[in-house]
């Protein structure tokens, strides 16, 4: 039975073993939790979980870890314990599960300066099509689809050299140099690359103007100008990176996979920006609900 007291753990008690059983993006967080509980002799106890949270909070407040790391560790621990509760672990009574949920609700994450993107402000597929089909700006007509279909930052896209693009089986593999000059690979469909090369035909850069890459600021200004004129609202170049990430997460793609593709240093960064803890009308709209209240 779960207790508040510190209990000496056996080499690894069944509950701790269960925390490590799952394989998902939270596996490293689960290992960090189990390592702390084992090293401190807590076992799987409320006191141990509270001590782990206090330990993380202390490290965050002292500057030893960043808010993103603190939030990821807290979210990962809560996720794993809730998975244990949901699987009906035999060692947990109904009272244990209630106390665990009560304790987990007090483990708060740190605020991350409003990183979240409001889904309601993102462009729709229809707006994307409208912008691309109606703009007379040849750069916007090709650059916006590239950003929307690859999730690349505007600076990353404009820095792509022809030598960074390699044709694979049925797609193109592109080497991107992101923040901190870290390299990663993204993919692009043949039709997308063909549109770019037909329009620009650069010798050195994929997007090339008079043998030089385009200016990031100038490109962003042109995208903003065209979106104001055609869609009656201003959309920046970075908006299309948000559009790409949100679309993939809505389609059920792995948070970890999307995070890596975007070049984020942590899955928590991706979660903070793109996972929403509020409901929109689209989430609640269901025409079949009305039939429940019809006379029979």
Residue 142, helix vs strand vs coil: helix
Residues 6+ apart with CB under 8 A from 96: 1, 2
Q: How many CA atoms lie within 13 A of 102 on its CB side?
A: 7
The DSSP 8-state label assigned to residue 108 in this structure reads: P
Is 209 noted as a catalytic residue in this protein? no
Nearest-angstrom CA–CA distance, 259 and 256: 5
Out of 153, 172, 214, 222, pick the active-site residue: 153
Active site residue 250: no
State the residue for tokens 């049925």.
Answer: 170
Q: Kindly name the residue from 195, 238, 256, 276 that is annotated as catalytic.
A: 238
> d(Cα 140, Cα 237) in Å, to the nearest integer?
10
| Rounded to 5°, angle at Cα 213 from 224 and 172 | 90
Would you call 264 a catalytic residue per the annotation?
yes
- Spatial CA neighbour of 202 closest among 213, 218, 191, 189: 213
Instruction: Choose the catalytic residue: 73, 78, 222, 264.
Output: 264
| Residue of 5, 167, 179, 228 marked active site | 179
Residue 269 C-alpha from the chain's centroid: 6
**Could you confirm whether 241 is annotated as catalytic?**
yes
Strand, helix or coil for residue 287 = helix
Query: Catalytic annotation on 179?
Result: yes
Cβ atoms within 10 Å, residue 82: 14
For residue 111, indicate whether it is catalytic.
Answer: no
Alpha-carbon span 115 to 152, nearest angstrom: 18
What CA dihedral angle connects 53, 55, 59 and 65, to 10 degrees? -50
Q: Which residues are catalytic?
A: 153, 179, 238, 241, 264, 274
């Amino acid at each position: 039975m779960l207790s508040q007291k510190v209990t000496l753990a056996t080499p690894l008690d069944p509950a701790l073993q269960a925390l490590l059983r799952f394989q998902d993006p939270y596996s490293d967080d689960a290992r960090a939790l189990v390592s702390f509980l084992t090293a401190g002799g807590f076992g799987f106890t409320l006191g141990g979980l509270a001590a782990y949270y206090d330990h993380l909070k202390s490290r965050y407040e002292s500057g030893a870890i960043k808010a993103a790391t603190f939030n990821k560790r807290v979210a990962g621990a809560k996720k794993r314990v809730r998975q244990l509760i949901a699987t009906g672990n035999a060692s947990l009574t109904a009272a244990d599960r209630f106390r665990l949920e009560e304790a987990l609700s007090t483990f708060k994450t740190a605020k991350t300066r409003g990183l979240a993107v409001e889904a309601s402000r993102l462009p729709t597929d229809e707006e994307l099509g409208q912008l691309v089909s109606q703009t007379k700006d040849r750069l916007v007509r090709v650059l916006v689809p590239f950003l929307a279909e690859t999730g690349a930052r505007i600076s990353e896209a404009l820095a792509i050299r022809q030598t960074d693009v390699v044709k694979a089986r049925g797609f193109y593999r592109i080497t991107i140099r992101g923040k901190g000059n870290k390299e990663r690979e993204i993919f692009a469909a043949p039709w997308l690359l063909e549109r770019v090369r037909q329009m620009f035909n650069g010798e050195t850069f994929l997007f090339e103007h008079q043998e030089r890459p385009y200016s990031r600021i100038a490109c962003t200004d042109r995208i903003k100008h065209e979106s104001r004129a055609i869609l009656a609202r201003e959309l920046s170049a970075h908006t299309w990176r948000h559009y790409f990430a949100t679309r993939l997460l809505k389609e059920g793609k792995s948070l970890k996979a999307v995070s890596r593709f975007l070049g984020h240093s942590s899955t928590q960064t991706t979660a903070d920006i793109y996972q929403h803890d509020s409901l929109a009308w689209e989430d609640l709209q269901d025409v079949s609900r009305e039939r429940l209240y019809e006379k029979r």
